[in-house]
Amino acid sequence: MMQNKKSNSSPTFPEAEDKVFATVQHRRPRGFMGDSAIDEAITQLLKAANLEEPNEFYREIIANAIKLGKNKPQRGDLKLISRALTEMRVADRVFSQYRDTKKVAVFGSARTRSERQEYIAAKQFGQMMVKSDYMVVTGGGEGIMGAAQIGAGREKSFGLNIILPFEQEANETIQNDPKLVTFKYFFTRKLTFVKESHAVVCFPGGFGTMDEAFETLTLIQTGKARIVPLLFVDATGGNFWSAFVHYISDHLLHNGLISKEDFHLFKVTDSLEEAREEICHFYKNFHSYRFVKDDLVIRMQRVIPEAEIAKLNDEFKDIIFNGKIRSCEAYADEANEPEILTLPRLTFPFNRRAFGRFRQLINRINDY
C-alpha cells in the first residue's frame, strides 16, 4: 500500500534551497507553450507517435526545441544540442535492455601496458565482478579499460568510447559489439557512466582518469548523483591512490575546503577482494533511495526492527533536518517503480548536505 504525501503549508528546506526550488517552478504545466495552436499540434504529434502516456517530458522536449528555435541559436550550438540528445538516446537504448543487472564502471589509463601490475589487477577484477553477477562498463579503450574488458568478457561488457584525434579506439573485446556506444562529447559519456553504474572503480591513470574520479566524487558529494561504492584501487603494494589521499588530507581537508565526512564517500585499497567485498556489501540490505518532497526514502531488502531504528535516530540525528527516521510504506510518488513498491522503507527529512554521513548510514543499514 502506498502512502500519500501531503504538501506542507510551509516548506522545511533551508531558505537558500527554497529560493533554488522557486526559480525552477513552471508558470504553466510542463511542456505547454501557452499557444493553443502549438500546444494542440504537440498533443496530436504525441498521439500519432503513441507517446500519450506519460507525455509531460516528451512534451517538454518538443517545446524546448521550439523555444530554442525562437532564440535563433548559431548552427554550432544546434549541432551540439542535437548530438548530445542523440548520444543520450542511443545510450539509453543500449542500457535499457540490462536494467535488472548491476554494473561496475572501471576507469584507468589507456596507456597501461599488459605487463604492468595494474593491468593484471584490472583483468582479474573484471573476472571477479562477473562472478559476482555484475557487468563491467569501461571507456572501451586499451590499457586498464581493455584489461577489465578482457576479464569480464564480451558478453558481460559495455564500452563507452570517445572520439579522439589519437589514442582511443575500441579494444578487440568490445569492438563492433551492440553494447559499444561511441560519444563525441565527454559530458554525455560521463553522464552515462554515472547514471548506469552501481559502483565505480578507479585504477591508476592520467588526466582522464583523475577527471572521471573527481567528477564522480563531486557529484556524489553534492547529491547530484546517487551514492554508490567508489573505490580507488592500486596494484598490490602500490601508492598511486594513497598519495592522492595524502594530498587531499594535507591541502583540501587541512584548509577547510572539504569535510572529514567526505572521506566516507570513497575507499582506497590495493586488495581486489576488499574492493569486491565493498561493492557487494553495499547492497547487502540497502537497495536504493529517492527524495519525495522533503523526505529521503530509503528502500531495503529487509525490515529493520523499531528498537534498531531508535538507535539510528540517536546516531544520525546530526543529518536529520526536522523530524526522525521512521519506517514507512511506499509513497504515492513512487508508483512509477512498481517492481519495488513492496520493499520495506525508512524515511526522514535529510539535510541534503552531509552525504558522507548518509554513506555511513547506508553502512549501518547493511549491518542488519
Give the relative orientation of helices 117-131 and 143-152 as an angle to the nearest 10 degrees. 30
The string of pLDDT tens digits covering residues 130-164 is 999 999 999 999 999 999 999 999 999 999 999 98
Predicted confidence pLDDT, tens digits, the chain (368 residues): 555 544 443 344 444 444 544 455 556 677 888 889 999 999 999 999 998 776 789 999 999 999 999 999 999 999 999 999 999 999 999 999 999 999 999 999 999 999 999 999 999 999 999 999 999 999 999 999 999 999 999 999 999 999 988 766 899 999 999 999 999 999 999 999 999 999 999 999 999 999 999 999 999 999 999 999 999 999 999 999 999 999 999 999 999 999 999 999 999 999 999 999 999 999 999 999 999 999 999 999 999 999 999 999 999 999 999 899 999 999 999 998 999 999 999 999 999 999 999 999 999 999 99
Contact 282, 365 (CB under 8 A): no
- Among 198, 205, 203, 145, which Cα is nearest to 173's? 145
Task: Enumerate residues 6+ apart whose C-beta is below 8 A from 177.
Answer: 154, 157, 159
Helices (H) and strands (E) in the chain, counts: 12, 13
- 149 by Cβ neighbours in 10 Å (0-12 / 13-18 / 19+) ranks as buried
DSSP state string for 4-49: P-PPPSS--S-HHHHHHHHHT--SSSTT--S-HHHHHHHHHHHHHT
Contact 36, 8 (CB under 8 A): no
CA distances from 282 to 140, 228, 275, 361, 366 (A): 26, 8, 11, 11, 7
Angle at 266 between CA 288 and CA 173, to 5 degrees: 80
345-348 and 103-107: which strand pairing? unpaired
- 156 by Cβ neighbours in 10 Å (0-12 / 13-18 / 19+) ranks as buried
Q: What is the torsional sign of CA 242, 243, 246, 247? A: negative
- The grid coordinates listed for 53 are 502516456
199-202 and 286-292: which strand pairing? unpaired
